[in-house]
Amino acid sequence: MISDGTIKGKLNGMKSWLPEKILEAHFALRPDMAARYTDHQKTNFKNDVTWILSFLGEAVWAGQPALFEEFSSWLRTFLSSVKVPMKDVAESYNLIGDQMRAVLDADEAELVIAALARGRKKLLETEGTLSIPACETMLDPMAARYLESLLIGDRNTALELVLNAVKQGMKVRDVYLNVFQPVQYEIGRLWQNNRISVAQEHFCTAATQLVMSQLYPYLFTGEKKNKKMITTCVPGELHEMGARMVTDFFEMSGWDTYYLGANMPIAGVIRFIGEIKPKIIAISATMTFHLTAVEEMIRAIRSSPSTPTDMKILVGGYPFRVAPELWRQIGADGFASGAQDAVDIAEKLIAA
């Protein structure tokens, strides 16, 4: 069950003072650390504690400690790549737990500390992350060549590779699923492991969006089904390629699609639903700390008088893949882990 958000609210409120307090507590325990930390390291440390509070709050709110476990696995990889010792991070988890005991009601503290303990275990035990595939060595040869071109900044070769493959008969669906998606995941993994820069990540993503747009003439060829759908990201969510891919799979299956992209205000979505009257609204979220926004968007859509009574709400993205029952708790009608499944599930939902 989704709780009323009180604990999450309290955890968010702690962001203004807890990071500093945890840093001081570390320094008190470890004077050597206090002596060697630069201002930059102190800032990073406090940002990390803020992040821990965000993911912890969201996981406890959703009643899904798995989300915090997954975050902790991710954090392990991310911080190990910049040589932060895991025992220091585990110590932070302990110190945060102590503060929770001091500040929260006993039953709230118990929930938070249980989630922290599960996360701490992952922090110390796991290699890499659970749900983000490590596909560097698993990429198919074309995806590997595509990635290689992007990493050396050669957008033209990447584009040619894809256009030639499609002209020679490769299905656009396969390009999306076997090239774009795994390459994007791999780019994320390389960034997380401190092996490529933020700039390279942005360049690769922008280049792939360009290549995708060149494939548009191949998308709009199927027979139309006279069914409309809208895809949107929630406010604050900047990851838009998953949503775009989902939309394109609907388009290729004959739906009339309306892709709204990243960071969409809830009021704008409601108004657009009233104008378009779609059969499906597909909501995408990648960052766990946007789950509250998903729940708010769903609640607002359902309570709007202009929402068609037979419209179904589909959700998807990273946190929903980590916690497969989350979609129910958050109030959606369905969830799909990928673009092809999304179309199949939508067809079933509207037929039911």
47-78: buried (b, 16+ CB within 10 Å) or exposed (e) per residue?
Answer: ebbebbbbbbbbbbbbbbbbbbbbbbbbbbbb
- Give CA–CA dist 189/231, Å, rounded: 26
Residue 315: which of 275, 348, 280 has the closest Cα?
280
- Give CA–CA dist 288/261, Å, rounded: 18
Q: Which of 18, 143, 187, 326 binds ligand B12 (CB under 6 A)?
A: 187
- Give CA–CA dist 114/63, Å, rounded: 11
Could you give the strand order of the β-sheet that contains 280-284, starting from the edge strand earlier in sequence?
256-259, 228-233, 280-284, 312-316, 334-335
Q: Which C-beta is closer to ligand B12: that of 109 or that of 260?
A: 260
Residue 259: which of 221, 296, 280, 231 has the closest Cα?
231
Q: Which C-beta is closer to ligand B12: that of 91 or that of 184?
A: 184
Helix (H/G/I), strand (E/B), else coil: 179: helix
Q: Which C-beta is closer to ligand B12: that of 37 or that of 185?
A: 185
The token duo for 251 is 């388009």
Query: Under the criterion CB under 6 A, does residue 185 sit at the interface with ligand B12?
Result: yes
Query: Under the criterion CB under 6 A, does residue 240 sit at the interface with ligand B12?
Result: yes
Q: Which C-beta is closer to ligand B12: that of 91 or that of 186?
A: 186
H helix or E strand, kind and range, residue 281 = strand 280-284
Query: Under the criterion CB under 6 A, does residue 295 sit at the interface with ligand B12?
Result: no
22-61 residues near ligand B12, rule: CB under 6 A:
none
Q: Give the x/- contact pattern for ligand B12 in 242-261, rule: CB under 6 A.
A: xx-xx---------------
Q: Which C-beta is closer to ligand B12: that of 91 or that of 248?
A: 248
Min dist CB 199 to ligand B12, Å, is 10
Number of chain positions touching ligand B12 (CB under 6 A): 40
Is residue 194 classed exposed, middle or buried when 0-12, 13-18 and 19+ CB atoms within 10 A define those classes? middle
Query: Under the criterion CB under 6 A, does residue 316 sit at the interface with ligand B12?
Result: yes
Query: Under the criterion CB under 6 A, does residue 97 sit at the interface with ligand B12?
Result: no
Query: Under the criterion CB under 6 A, does residue 184 sit at the interface with ligand B12?
Result: yes
6-25 residues near ligand B12, rule: CB under 6 A:
none
Is residue 296 classed exposed, middle or buried when 0-12, 13-18 and 19+ CB atoms within 10 A define those classes? middle
Query: Under the criterion CB under 6 A, does residue 236 sit at the interface with ligand B12?
Result: yes
Query: Under the criterion CB under 6 A, does residue 287 sit at the interface with ligand B12?
Result: yes
Q: Which of 84, 157, 338, 350 binds ligand B12 (CB under 6 A)?
A: 338
The interface region with ligand B12, picked from 5-13, 115-123, 219-227, 281-289 by CB under 6 A, is 281-289
Query: Under the criterion CB under 6 A, does residue 339 sit at the interface with ligand B12?
Result: yes
- Give CA–CA dist 271/276, Å, rounded: 9
Which spans of this chain sit near ligand B12 (rule: CB under 6 A)?
71, 74, 132, 181, 184-185, 187-189, 191-192, 201-202, 205, 236-243, 245-246, 282-284, 286-288, 314-318, 321, 336, 338-339, 342
